[in-house]
Amino acid sequence: MRSGRISRNTAINMAGALLPLLLTLFTVPRYLRLIGDVRFGVLAMVWLLLSYFAIFDMGLGRATSRSLAQLKLGAEEERASTFWTALLINSIFGVIGGLALWFVTRYFLGVWLSVPPVLKPEFFSALPWLAAAVPVATNLSVMIGALEGSERFLVVNTLQVASAAAFQLFPLAVAVWHGPDLQWLIASAVLARLVSSLPLLAACWKFVPLSGLPRIDWQTSRELFSFGGWITISGLLTPIMATLDRLLVGAMRGAQAVTYYTVPCNFATKFSMVPASLSRTLFPRFSMQTPEQQQELARQSLLALAAVLTCGVAITIPAVDPFFRLWIGPELAIRSSHIGELLLVGIWVNGLSWIPSAQLQARGRPDLVAKFHAVEFAPFLLALWAGLKYGGVQGAAIVWVLRVVLDTTLLLSASGLLKRTLAQVLTGFTIVLFSAVMVRLAGDSLRARAILALTVLAMGLAWTALFARNALPRRMRSFGLLQPHLGDTV
């Protein structure tokens, strides 16, 4: 695959992530105005809980992507058998997961989240819809994995953008026309996701392509589970690691504090669409390459990704507070902007972990990712509790940043990328950290923040010219940072 193809697919994935982000900028203030910050906090916790129950995917979405990439030139019957096996197994596990969610959520609501009694009837009425959302989510993961393994990124992103739009706009329309009842908000979101799954199934039918009657091939299932098993273990821990900060904020500080933390968290994590887009593009390619080819592609991809993140994150940090004041209002901005600035530092670090994680999984070592998360879990939980107790919401943000620094270091080391990119990574991190420290000195001064943004942008561009010139796509030559030939890179 040529660099242009990888760049094109990454750009498609980026567009597929950016459009829902732009829609979020429109919908979040309206949600807050229509349903209030307490209901919004409860709703945020609901989606976090639902994202954890995506573990009932059992790693088969990723396994399907890898298998279909390796079977790119294989028989159509074999490809169809892989898809139907994964989809049917995930349907079964999705139903089991939905039932588990039904029972766990009742305990979760009473113990972990301080919800006003008046909202509990609304939430409990929505439990059947939440249970139904789990099999929908597990099946969607197989469909998306199948299309990505077939490298149909334009198709899958077009359909995912439509799905994301429906997921955000349907509940908003219900809030306008029916009111802020959580039951109706959750039901409309689940129905939007269900309806959106039908075009994805039609796309799989065409592009996998599918044939024959749906059935489970047990030999194929064993092959999928041999890879997906470790993905599942990682899937058990990753959602907890990713959302434990918000869960404990809700448990220790209440639903309102969840809003103060979730809004900047959701804002900052949107930068993850850059590494996620690149990782989605690279994973099928890694699955078809030799270890030597993987290593070179991963190295150049990491440098290209670091170049984009360093410039983007460093100049965004000074803009957080002014933007939040315009976006969500001064009152929420005062409580949330410093959290966003801290989390952006962690997002830069965490973004780099996507490349070695995809490389290790494609290499057949998903166990390393799972083992690292298992080792990190208990210390992270203890540190997060201490951070919240003694540092409040900002303490939780600092602990999360430290955790992703450790996680990324382990992944880069295991993949062999750390020793090849250490100087470049540390230099980029220094620029981002400099921005986060200096913004506190800039205070509320727009002029000082603007000067800081220009300064760190110049530093980021200098870093790119020095370290990542040969890794960026050829079509960005207009920036004066590239050389003509990149080979099989980003």
Three-state secondary-structure class, residue 151: coil
pTM value is 0.74
- Provide the 8-state DSSP code for 476: G
Cα three-residue angle 136-138-144, rounded to 5 degrees: 95
Residue 489 has pLDDT above 50, yes or no: no
Q: Taking the domains of the chain in order of start, what are their residue ranges? A: 1-216, 222-482
CA 338/CA 265 separation, integer angstroms: 11
* pLDDT band at residue 218 under the 50/70/90 scheme: confident
Q: Residue 489: left (phi > 0), alpha (psi -120 to 50), or beta?
A: beta
The token pair at 232 is 């599942």
Residue 31 has pLDDT above 60, yes or no: yes
Question: Phi and psi for 113 in degrees, rounded to 5?
Answer: -130, 125
| Higher-confidence position of 450 and 2 | 450
Q: What's residue 107's pLDDT?
A: 67
Q: What is the pLDDT of residues 443-483, one digit of tens each?
A: 889 999 999 999 999 999 999 888 876 666 654 443 333 33
Q: What is the pLDDT of residues 293-307, one digit of tens each?
A: 899 999 999 999 999
Three-state secondary-structure class, residue 142: helix
Task: Note whether 220 and 85 are within 8 A (CB).
Answer: yes
Residue 386 has pLDDT above 90, yes or no: yes
Token match 């083992």: residue?
Answer: 371
Q: What's residue 408's pLDDT?
A: 96
**Beta carbons within 10 angstroms of residue 66's beta carbon:** 26
Task: With CA atoms as reference, report the closest residue to 338 among 377, 380, 394, 391.
Answer: 394
Task: Note whether 286 and 148 are within 8 A (CB).
Answer: no
Q: What's residue 452's pLDDT?
A: 95
Q: What's residue 422's pLDDT?
A: 92
Max distance between CA atoms of the chain, in angstroms, equals: 66
Task: Note whether 354 and 415 are within 8 A (CB).
Answer: no
Residues 6+ apart with CB under 8 A from 47: none
Over range 362-381, report the average pLDDT: 87
Task: With CA atoms as reference, report the closest residue to 413 among 464, 359, 467.
Answer: 359
Task: Note whether 186 and 129 are within 8 A (CB).
Answer: yes
Q: What's residue 225's pLDDT?
A: 79
HSE of 392, CA atoms in CB hemisphere, 13 A = 8
The token pair at 160 is 């995912």
**Beta carbons within 10 angstroms of residue 329's beta carbon:** 13
Residue 270 has pLDDT above 70, yes or no: yes
- Provide the 8-state DSSP code for 470: T
CA 323/CA 331 separation, integer angstroms: 13
Q: What is the pLDDT of residues 387-439, one digit of tens each?
A: 988 888 889 899 999 999 999 999 999 999 998 899 999 999 999 999 999 99
CA 61/CA 43 separation, integer angstroms: 26
Q: What is the pLDDT of residues 315-371, one digit of tens each?
A: 999 999 999 999 888 888 888 999 999 999 999 999 999 999 999 988 888 888 888
Question: Phi and psi for 450 in degrees, rounded to 5?
Answer: -65, -40
Q: Which own/partner contact pairs does 470-478 have at CB distance under 8 Å and 24+ positions apart?
A: 470/300, 470/303, 471/299, 471/300, 471/301, 471/302, 471/303, 471/304, 471/307, 472/304, 472/307, 473/3, 473/4, 473/7, 473/304, 474/3, 474/4, 474/7, 475/4, 475/7
Q: What's residue 235's pLDDT?
A: 62
**What mean pLDDT, rounded, does the chain reach?**
85
Sign of the C-alpha dihedral computed for residues 281, 286, 287 and 289 taken in this order: positive
Sign of the C-alpha dihedral computed for residues 4, 9, 10 and 11 taken in this order: positive
* pLDDT band at residue 104 under the 50/70/90 scheme: confident
CA 83/CA 94 separation, integer angstroms: 16
CA 59/CA 232 separation, integer angstroms: 5
- Provide the 8-state DSSP code for 210: -
CA 47/CA 42 separation, integer angstroms: 9
